[in-house]
Structure 1
């Protein structure tokens, strides 16, 4: 892949700095939003204020404050160690001294290898992109949302740089990351994630049923759009060498922290549901604490390679690169609808899949770039069209079925989204020209 231009590098650095600032500002931003409820309370008639006081509504706001502060401490921990995740040093200082190490954040090198071979140090890969559409499924209002998130307000005026002020869009991505942590790395999220992960893992094991478990580490699996890395981790725990790929800085920061900086089960506590009071059944649901993680990467077998590579899927895997090579399996879970042009994804999957390998897919078609405001092209297809294109580009689809599943839902909420996700396994028709 050609190196980034100077302008692209600067843009990537700015974007990452904006993400870090969003993490730093989480506590003040969220407390301010909660404090607005107090201000609204003061506008009510005295009788109404008294009634709300009697049911403990004002006390609940204080409990939300406490939960936000606790979340904020966790969020700050996630960005403390990025001097060793990103290689370029940035000279800007943090808002306070404890954040300064996280400023060393160049974006030419933001891949990280979670080293199983069992080391946890990052190895850097130059996979970066000039745009960002993080695959975070926020289901508060618009589920499975995407969009261009490179907004910034860094304006140079006589050499000065204005401090970035995170937007609601930025904060929503961070809140979605907290919910994603529940889905991928908590006991509470197991039932939901296994509804998606188990069929994929079962199909993977079935396809390679003639390979002894002791030989699985010689098989290489790719998981694009890996999010916080749990599916790749689970695949590695089955004995397969596995590489995940992710583009969202929010996801990369959180996954790096969980996989490289967490030492024990249930080490961290978060309160992921305190940001909205809508569709809440009771106070216990609102203030529910989630312990993270429910598993540790140190448990991965020593002969299994397990890594995460940062960067845009098309840019990382689209160009021929002998260092990347072929994969025996490619697993796409809630991923293919992140494509601007699905045909590009299909060609890359076909090119990167080895002869005799398998592509396993599960997910909906909530096209991330539909109706985008950034003038990016977007080709939206229905499921029949997707499958027809798969066949035209040389894939044989099997085991097709619909699987009902959720994504980052709060199981105790009065509102939930359910997907009728499409599942299939696919192999290449080797006697056909798929190019």
Structure 2
């Protein structure tokens, strides 16, 4: 929750800007595609005729239609943003504040409750937004209509790709490269616990993104809580987990925004349907929740006497998360502090330090892998099962370019 009126207003402004980004997707994306049409007419007539024989203009029309499909899907996600606590003024795109610490809990009567997006230039991002709240202010109660930036739209496009990774059949192979070894390590560590008693074990998934890893952990019987900071992820995960009542209910086109490294028209235009499982199909009595807010603020202190954190988590699973730290020392110190005696920390991910070379004057400590492991041992962890897992992240399997992370994997216990 925001600590003072200024922070509260910044939070409201940032959330409003995120809503505006969702709602301006069609206008922004159609304009970008229309630029390609205009460029055709700058070419010599003979070149235009050659492009006509290839059906290039028809492809642009098909991309327009795909963008409109995407816009309809994204509009559903932000159809009722007031559920997060504030009325929405359609006139100036104002909307509510999603307060840090707001918890969505699994409820068998209504389905499970319910993010991480940071670009490093070439669209190989994993989602966890750390952008500072932004808004235009001309008084305490009125703001100018927000115009989403290229950076905002890049995060929204990344959210569509994250849906593919976490909630589609198409994304299963990629996500299982990461999620399966983490589930297996968790099950191995608690192999002595009968399956019917797993609900007594509390598992935390920081940087939960769209919630699939946390959902899968709850599906095998553990009490699981995800934590996420990005409003893009939180809005989207809430929608898929709470407002989706059928397998493959939603269809969109995640790869129509760039014409680079495209092998074929079908590869660019192909549709993806989500979800591949019924979100409400958790076992009866499942304990599954997602808490919105900053990891360090929520779990790094004892600010809530009703929700103590120290020594309370039997397992912590960090997937593509620890490199979101400004201060990795504090991240690992918090993980060590809140882990219960006999608990396990399972990590998988690269070291794409999110605040390296940032333009927001945020501090950033950037260690190499050997230094991270040495730090973990110095803080009080014993590492085991260390290995490398080669994996992509939100990659188009039909594209001509893909980034492979040599992700570090380990399990760790308190010394």
Alignment partners' CA distance in 1, 2:141 and 2:181: 55
1:68-124 deviation per Cα after TM superposition (whole angstroms, max 9, x unaligned):
00000000000012222x12335x3356xxxx8xx551233662314145544869x
Contact 2:245 2:279 in 1 (8 A): no
Alignment partners' CA distance in 2, 1:158 and 1:377: 30
Q: Secondary structure of the equivalent of 1:83?
A: helix
The match for 1:350 is 336
Q: TM-score, normalised by structure 1?
A: 0.90
Q: Secondary structure of the equivalent of 1:161?
A: coil
Alignment partners' CA distance in 1, 2:136 and 2:90: 15
Q: Secondary structure of the equivalent of 2:79?
A: coil
1:340 to 2:326 alignment: yes
Q: TM-score, normalised by structure 2?
A: 0.94
Alignment partners' CA distance in 2, 1:425 and 1:303: 28
Which 4+ residue blocks in structure 1 deviate beyond 6 angstroms?
none
The match for 1:188 is 170
The match for 1:365 is 351
Q: Secondary structure of the equivalent of 2:389?
A: strand
Residues paired across the two proteins, number: 410
From 89, 93, 118, the equivalent of 2:90 is 93
Query: Structure 1 residues 157 and 8, CA, compared in 2 at 3 Å: closer, same or farther?
Result: closer
1:174 to 2:160 alignment: no
1:37-93 deviation per Cα after TM superposition (whole angstroms, max 9, x unaligned):
000001010000000011100000000000000000000000012222x12335x33
The match for 2:48 is 49
Alignment partners' CA distance in 2, 1:7 and 1:177: 28
Contact 2:107 2:113 in 1 (8 A): no
Q: Secondary structure of the equivalent of 1:397?
A: strand
Q: Deviation of residue 147 (structure 1)?
A: 6.9
The match for 2:204 is 222
The match for 1:243 is 225
Q: Deviation of residue 415 (structure 1)?
A: 0.4
From 247, 272, 295, the equivalent of 1:313 is 295
Measured on the aligned residues, the alpha-carbon RMSD in Å equals 2.0
- Gap runs ≥5 in structure 2: none
From 406, 415, 418, the equivalent of 2:392 is 406
Q: Deviation of residue 18 (structure 1)?
A: 0.2
Alignment partners' CA distance in 2, 1:153 and 1:88: 17
From 374, 386, 390, the equivalent of 2:372 is 386
From 95, 108, 112, the equivalent of 2:103 is 112
Q: Deviation of residue 155 (structure 1)?
A: 3.0
Query: Structure 1 residues 208 and 159, CA, compared in 2 at 3 Å: closer, same or farther?
Result: closer
